[in-house]
A = this chain, B = another copy of it.
Amino acid sequence: MADKKYIYKFSEGSGKMRELLGGKGANLAEMTNLGMPVPQGFTITTEACTKYWEDGETIAPEVEAGIYKYVEDLELITGKKFGDIQNPLLVSVRSGARASMPGMMDTILNLGINEEVAESLANQSGNPRWAWDSCRRFIQMFSDVAMGVGKESFERRIEEMKKSRGITQDTDLTWQDLKELAGQFREEYRTARGEEFPTDAKVQLMGAIKAVFGSWNNPRAIIYRRENDIPGSWGTAVNVQSMVFGNTGNDSGTGVAFTRNPATGEKKLYGEFLMNAQGEDVVAGIRTPQTIDQLAEVMPDAYNQFVEISSKLEEHYRDMQDMEFTIEKGKLYMLQTRNGKRTPFAAIKVAVDLVAEGMCTKEEALLKIEPRALDALLHPVFETSALKAANPVAKGVNASPGAACGAVYFSAEEAVEAAKKKPVLLVRKMTSPEDLAGMYAAQGILTAVGGATSHAAVVARGAGICCVAGCKELHINEEEKYLTIAGQTVNEGEYMSIDGTTGSVYVGKIKTVDAAVSGNFGTIMQWSDECRKLKVRTNADTPRDAQIALNFGAEGIGLTRTEHMFFDEERIPAIREMIVAKTSEQRKAALDKLLPFQRDDFIGIFRVMKDKPVTIRLLDPPLHEFLPHTDDDIKVLSGEMGMTFEELRSAVDSLHEENPMMGHRGCRLPVTYPEIAEMQTRAIIEAALTVKKELGINIVPEIMIPLVCEIKELKYVKDIITDVAGRIISESGSELQYRVGTMIEIPRAALLADEIATEAEFFSFGTNDLTQMTFGFSRDDAGKFLNDYYAKKIFESDPFARLDQNGVGKLIKMAAQLGKQTRPDIKLGICGEHGGDPSSIEFCHNTGLTYVSCSPFRVPIARLAAAQAAIRSSVAD
C-alpha cells in the first residue's frame, strides 16, 4: 500500500482541495499560488483527523513523523529553527474544516515559545514587551483553547495586575508585568492539570494538533453540524503556519475586512484593524478598533496593497471575501480569505450585483444564497430604531419567525373579537385545535408551555404567524385576565411585542415593518424559476394560506388537509355526532350537516387557486382526536350531545388505541365508514363544479387517499369516489375532470408501487409517516431518545427534519421507479415537511419527482432550492 499523503505544504495545495485541506488550508494554498504575501506553512489533512478518531484518539506515528518533517521544511524556508532559543521558529495552529464551524478549537498563536525563548527574543529584538506579550499570550491560549484550563483565572490575574499597577489598559502593562503574568499563568496551569506547562516545542505542537482534532467532536460542534447538515465523517484539517507579529510596535497591527458590506451588500471595503495587536484582540473588543478606511491614513502602502489584494481575491473567487491580515513592521501578510458570511438581505443584493458586474452567471449567483436564509425576508421585523430603545423582559423558544406587536388577549374568542379593531397577541398557557380561529386572527402567539414542535409552534409556522413558545417567565391568570412576566403585570388589552426569530418578549409597543420583497428578491425568484425543473406547490388548508402561498409563487396545492376544517366550533358537534353514530343512517345524517361547510371550504380554496392544481386529502386522523378524553370534558360534552356520561365514555374508550399512529386512520376510516368518503367527494366535486361555472375556468381537482398499504384497499376507496363523483357530474349536466391518487407513506405501498399505480393517477410521498414507519420511530416520542443518538454520534440529523436519503430515500426511489414502470406519466410529489427542506428538495429533484409541496412561507425557499438542485445536477452531468 502506497503511503497516504497526510500533510501538504501551502505551495503544494490549491483552492480546489477543500475536502482534503479544509477551507482555510485550501485558501492559504490558493493565495500562495496567486503570489500573495502569505506566511508559509503546511496543512494536516482532514483524513488525518478521521484517522485520529479511527485510531482511538491518537496521532499515528507516521503522521507525527510527517509533521516533524514538514516543520523542518518550514525551518528551511524561514531560516529559523523550531524549539531553538536563539533563532526560534514560532507558529500558529488553527483548525480548518471544509465548512467554517463555530464550536471548534480556533487558534493558538506563538507556539514554540517558552520563557527562555522569550528572554532571548527580548534581548535580540530590543523589544521585550513584544517578547513577553507573545509568551503570556501563548500560555494563555494553549491552556484555555487546547487544554481547557484557566480561562477565568487568567483574566482575573490580569485584572489584579492592572489594579495593583493602577492602570486600566492591557497595553499599559510593562514587559515586567507581562513576564510576571506568564509565570503566574504557568503556576495556574500546574495547579489545574497537575503537571508542568509544556516548554518543549514539539510537545506543544502535538498537544495543539490533538486539541484541534479533538474539538471536531465536542458537543457544540456536533450540534452545529446537525443543524447545518454537515457530516461528522468530514473531519477537520489543521494549519500550521509560521508566525508574523502584529504586536511588535506601532508599525505593526492586525485586522479583518470584507470586500462588501456583509449587512447590506453594498460594494465597499468593510472592516477594522488594531495597531500593535495580535489577532484575538480585534475580536475581544478590549480596545476599540479603527475602521479599515483609516488604515489608508495610518499606513498608506500597506492599505493600498490590501485594497489591491482584496479586489483580486474577489475576482478570483467571484464572491464577496472575508479576509484576515497582519502587518509586521510595515509589511502586509494575508492570513486568511474565505467567502464572507452575509445577512439574507445582503446575500440577494450581492448575488444580483455580481451578475450585473459580470463576475458570475445567474446560476453561480443562485448557488451563493442559502435557501433557508430567505425565511428572514418573508416576515415582519421590528423597526431598527424602535428596537434599540426596547429591552426584552424574557425569552422563550423562537418557534415561528417574525416580529409582532399587539394587545394581549387570553382566549381565542376574545382575540377574534378584539382583532376586528386592533392588532392582537394571543397569549395562552398552550394552544389546542379549538384555538385555531384566535391564532389565525392574531399578529403573534405567545405561550408559557411547549417548544418548537408544540401545537402553537406548528400552526404558527404553517400560517406564517410569529410565535414565541414556552416562555417560562410568563404566568397567566386567565380568569382575572392579566399576566405577569419578570415582575411586571400586563392586563388584557395592554400591548406587548414578541420576536419569533429570536424568542425575545417585550412589554409595550415596538413598531414593526413588513418585510419588503425588494427588487433583488424578485430577481432571484425569477432566476430560480428559470433554472428549476421541480414544480413548487404548497400545503394549505384555507383560502388565506392558499393566497399567501400564491403570493409567494406557489404553482398549486399539494396537500389540503381536510381534518383541520372539522375543529371549528360550528362543525365539531356534527363530526362528534358522526363518530358516535350507531348506524349508517345516523352517520349519514351527521355528515349531511358537515357537507355544506366542507363544500364552502373547497369553494373558497378553488376560487383562490383558480385553474392551478389542488390536491385534497380525505380525512386522515383517528376519530378519537375529535373527542375529549378527561372525565370532566366528557361529562360536559355528553350533556351537550344528549348522551349519558357512560355512553360517551364508552364511545371514547372504544376508540382508544395503543398506537394510534398505526391505527384506525387514513383510508382505513372510509373502509369502515364509506359515508365519510362519500360526503367528502361530494363536497369536492360540487365545489369544483360551482367555481368552474362561476369563473368560467377549468378546474381538475385531485382527490388523495391517505395511508394506503394495499392496491385493493385503494381500489375500494377509489370506487366510492368515482361512484359518487360520476353521479354528481352526470346529474349536474356539466363536465368535470378529476384525478384520484394516493399518499405513499406506508412502506408496503412504496414496495408495491407498481401495483398501486394501476389505480393511482398520482403519488404524493408523505415523508412524515414514511419516516416514522421506515425507522419505527414515533415522531411524538422519538424526541426523548434522539438526543442520545446525537450525543453518541449514531445520528447526525433529525430524520424528520432532513430526509433520510439512505433508507427512506431508497424506498422513495424504488416507488418512483415502480410507479413510472406502470404509469409512465404518473405525477410524483412530496408533501411531508421535508418538502420545504433544501437538501430533501435536492433529493426530490434527483429522484425525478414532479413537484414538492411545502408550507406557504417555505415556497420561496423551495423555489431557490429546486433551482440550486437543477443547477448542481446539470453541472454534475
Task: Report which of B671, B672, B776 forms a contact with A769, defined as CB distance below 8 A.
Answer: B776
Task: Report which of B659, B748, B781, B804 forms a contact with A780, defined as CB distance below 8 A.
Answer: B659
In the complex, residue of chain B having the shortest beta-carbon distance to the beta carbon of A672: B788
Chain B residues closer than 8 Å to A778, beta-carbon distance:
657-663
Query: Any chain B CB within 8 A of the CB of A806?
Result: yes
Contacting pair B709 A776 (CB below 8 A): yes
Q: How far is the CB of A178 from chain B (nearest CB, A)?
A: 45
Q: Mark A660-672, 1 if CB is under 8 A from B, else 0.
A: 1111100010011
Chain B residues closer than 8 Å to A810, beta-carbon distance:
751-752
In the complex, residue of chain B having the shortest beta-carbon distance to the beta carbon of A807: B748
Stretch at the interface among A384-392, A560-568, A790-798: A790-798
Decide yes or no: A808 and B658 within 8 Å by CB, A668-B785, A710-B795, A788-B672 being known contacts. Answer: no
Decide yes or no: A785 and B662 within 8 Å by CB, A775-B748, A778-B657 being known contacts. Answer: no
Q: Which of A747, A785, A807 has the most CB of B within 10 A?
A: A747
Q: Mark A723-751, 1 if CB is under 8 A from B, else 0.
A: 00000000000000000000001111001
The number of times this chain is found in the oligomer is 2
Contacting pair A777 B671 (CB below 8 A): no
Query: Any chain B CB within 8 A of the CB of A190?
Result: no
Q: How far is the CB of A266 from chain B (nearest CB, A)?
A: 46
In the complex, residue of chain B having the shortest beta-carbon distance to the beta carbon of A655: B784
Contacting pair B806 A707 (CB below 8 A): no
Number of interface residues of A (CB under 8 A): 48
Query: Any chain B CB within 8 A of the CB of A789?
Result: yes
Contacting pair A746 B776 (CB below 8 A): yes
Main secondary structure of the interface of A (DSSP, over half): helix
Q: How far is the CB of A808 from chain B (nearest CB, A)?
A: 7
Task: Report which of B660, B710, B713 forms a contact with A658, defined as CB distance below 8 A.
Answer: B660
Contacting pair B663 A709 (CB below 8 A): no
Decide yes or no: A789 and B659 within 8 Å by CB, A712-B794, A746-B776 being known contacts. Answer: no
Query: Any chain B CB within 8 A of the CB of A716?
Result: yes
Contacting pair B807 A662 (CB below 8 A): no
Chain B residues closer than 8 Å to A659, beta-carbon distance:
659-662, 778, 780-781
Contacting pair A776 B807 (CB below 8 A): no
Chain B residues closer than 8 Å to A664, beta-carbon distance:
781, 784-785
Q: How far is the CA of A792 from the CA of B673 in the complex (A)?
A: 12
Decide yes or no: A712 and B793 within 8 Å by CB, A659-B662, A747-B811, A773-B747 being known contacts. Answer: yes
Q: Mark A792-828, 1 if CB is under 8 A from B, else 0.
A: 1111000000001011101100000000000000000
In the complex, residue of chain B having the shortest beta-carbon distance to the beta carbon of A711: B794
In the complex, residue of chain B having the shortest beta-carbon distance to the beta carbon of A814: B751
Query: Any chain B CB within 8 A of the CB of A772?
Result: yes
Chain B residues closer than 8 Å to A776, beta-carbon distance:
661-662, 707, 709, 745-748, 769, 773
In the complex, residue of chain B having the shortest beta-carbon distance to the beta carbon of A715: B794
Query: Any chain B CB within 8 A of the CB of A774?
Result: yes
Q: How far is the CB of A806 from chain B (nearest CB, A)?
A: 6
Q: How far is the CA of A595 from the CA of B660 in the complex (A)?
A: 36
Q: How far is the CA of A668 from the CA of B710 in the complex (A)?
A: 30
Q: How far is the CA of A804 from the CA of B747 in the complex (A)?
A: 13
Decide yes or no: A710 and B794 within 8 Å by CB, A661-B659, A772-B662, A785-B671 being known contacts. Answer: yes
Q: How far is the CA of A659 from the CA of B668 in the complex (A)?
A: 18
Chain B residues closer than 8 Å to A709, beta-carbon distance:
774-777, 807
Q: How far is the CA of A793 from the CA of B751 in the complex (A)?
A: 21
Q: How far is the CB of A794 from chain B (nearest CB, A)?
A: 4
Chain B residues closer than 8 Å to A751, beta-carbon distance:
774, 807, 810-811
Q: How far is the CB of A851 from chain B (nearest CB, A)?
A: 24
Chain B residues closer than 8 Å to A781, beta-carbon distance:
657-660, 662-664
5 closest cross-chain pairs (CB), A and B: A659-B778, A662-B778, A748-B807, A658-B780, A663-B781
A-B contact pairs, 14 of them (CB 8 A): A658-B780, A661-B776, A661-B778, A662-B662, A668-B785, A709-B777, A709-B807, A710-B794, A710-B807, A712-B794, A713-B794, A747-B807, A748-B808, A773-B776
Extra inter-chain contacts (14) besides given A662-B782, A746-B775, A747-B811, CB under 8 Å: A659-B661, A661-B778, A663-B782, A664-B781, A671-B785, A672-B785, A709-B807, A712-B795, A745-B776, A747-B776, A748-B774, A748-B776, A748-B804, A773-B774
